[in-house]
Amino acid sequence: MADPNNGVMLAYQYVMTNEYGLQLNQPVTQLKKLDERNQIKILAIGKENTKPTKAFLLIGQTGAGKTRLLNAMINYIMKVKFEGNCRYTVKDEIGTMPKTKTESQTEFVTGYLIYQQPGMAVDCNYLIIDTPGLGDTRGSEQQHRIKKQMEVFLTDETFEISELHCLGFVVNGTINRSHAYLKEIVTEFESLFGKDTIKITKILATHTDDDTPAVSKVLDDMNIKADKLYTFDNGVLYCSNQGKKADLSQLQWNILTSSYEEFFEDMLVAKPCSLRLCKEAIKEKMNLERSLLMLKRHIDNKVKALLQCRNKRKLYEEYYTAMRCNEEFEGEETITVKERFPINGRFTHAHNCPICEQTCVYPCTSWSSAFCRCPSGEEPCDFCPCSKNGHEKEGETIESRQEKRHITNEQMRDKYEEAKTNLQNMEELMETLQKETDHHSKQMAIYIKTIVSHIERINEIARNPNRKATEDYLSELISNVKETMVMGTSDASDQHYITEMLDALPEQIDQIVLEVTSKKTSISDRFKAMTSYAKHNLNPFGRSGQ
């Protein structure tokens, strides 16, 4: 139906009449894309056509006025007049739970694809993408959820977003001092994008009609990289156009219209920025996270293997001494217990070996081939001797923990006789366990290499890379392993042994990192040098178990 204000042929439905007598209408939308799991949707407004499309992505803090900005853009595009009695409003994608004023009212990442129609103020299609507000009272968990949504939206080919014309950071124009938490939030989300998006980044300051608001200095102090600052006072959008204040409101409306004219004129000639670097930056960060997790598993498994080696030697020696003295024997042995845990979060599955009863590939995701590391082929797995094709794709990981178990003389005798049958002597048992630790040492070197390469590439292409050094990542990882393993054992001797081994590891890893980063050689030569170092210098760590 035609809008009585401007003659635009657009289907809409009546929502309500506000306190000023203005009729609020909601444009009828058609659902084009929907990801219910990640809460992402694209809605189309108007009749589809083949005109070029300009894409905007709006990011901002909760309470900055993103949704009102989006509504103002739509009203401008629809050429709504101040004197008319109708305004457009889009529905907040608020989910099912009521929100407070300090919580984001938008749960979905929602793209509004507005098809150009006769009578509109623009001559092309616009895709305006609204995102959940950052920094609400639900804290870091909410931030991670929104970041996951953004990663999926920007990388999943389902949504067909290959370029942007504007990356708009929406800020409240009334802030007059730097906020550390706001800078932290913006910095974190800037890290999703490649360096080339700086040229399309715009600051959209709301709640102000001042061309040079106080917020501009705050943004300079916060060092937020942007190409241009626009100011909008969207408060007049749904205000009365009658009465004593009508003239003032008309003036404010004209100023607002001029602001959007400037913005959309700039966007009309804006060159698009490909999301290739953005997709690669997200991919590299995903792979860095994956490599750190795999390295942690190898360190964890190596320490467990060494601990088992040490305790088996001690147990057999104690039994052999008791047997020589013709004494009854009672002791404790260390056994490995396997447990399954469901996978939650951004990663969707793991690959588990049913023969070895362990998780060999995790994390893994089904988003696209760029992120998936599903194993295939008959060659042996990196984690076990079985072929990759023999692994099962499952929604849970298999974790191992060690616990002490009381063992009697009779049980020990059976174990001892079995050991004598299967292995000629204790040294062969130790050699078998040593091979396992050597395997983990080699894999540790491989993952350290990949971690270094991911960090180097992130620093090359990311708009706001995390400047944390490789050693810092690994130090945090080792501390986490130490805390988990020490808490998981009640034996003071074992706790001391675990601490001693892990305290020795950072210095050895630092040497590997130095070998990798200090030489400007080919990847192949760097890898050979590193694996050679691991073979000769990680073994002292392994020999500490003997």
Indicate the domain borders of the chain. 12-274, 280-343+395-543
Between residues 23 and 8, the one the model is more confident about: 23
Instruction: Look at residues 475, 477, 532, 506 and name the one whose alpha carbon lies nearest to residue 300.
Output: 477
Please state the rounded mean pLDDT for residues 305-312.
Answer: 77
Question: Which 3 state secondary structure label does DSSP give 12?
Answer: strand
Is the predicted pLDDT of residue 336 greater than 90, yes or no? no
Is the predicted pLDDT of residue 222 greater than 80, yes or no? no
pLDDT at residue number 255:
92
* Per-residue CA distances from 200 to 57, 120, 194, 218, 221 (Å): 10, 24, 11, 20, 20
Rounded to whole angstroms, how far apart are CA atoms 259 and 433?
71
Rounded to whole angstroms, how far apart are CA atoms 430 and 412?
18
Residue 44 CB-density burial (10 A; 0-12 exposed, 13-18 middle, 19+ buried): buried
Q: What is the pTM of this model?
A: 0.72
% of the chain at pLDDT higher than 70: 74
Q: Which of 130-139, 159-168, 490-499, 514-523 has the highest mean pLDDT?
A: 159-168
Least confident stretch, 32-36, 242-246, 400-404: 400-404
Least confident stretch, 216-230, 323-337, 390-404, 415-429: 415-429
CATH architecture of the domain formed by 12-274: 3-Layer(aba) Sandwich (3.40)
pLDDT at residue number 535:
45
Rounded to whole angstroms, how far apart are CA atoms 118 and 8?
6
Report CA Rg, the chain. 31
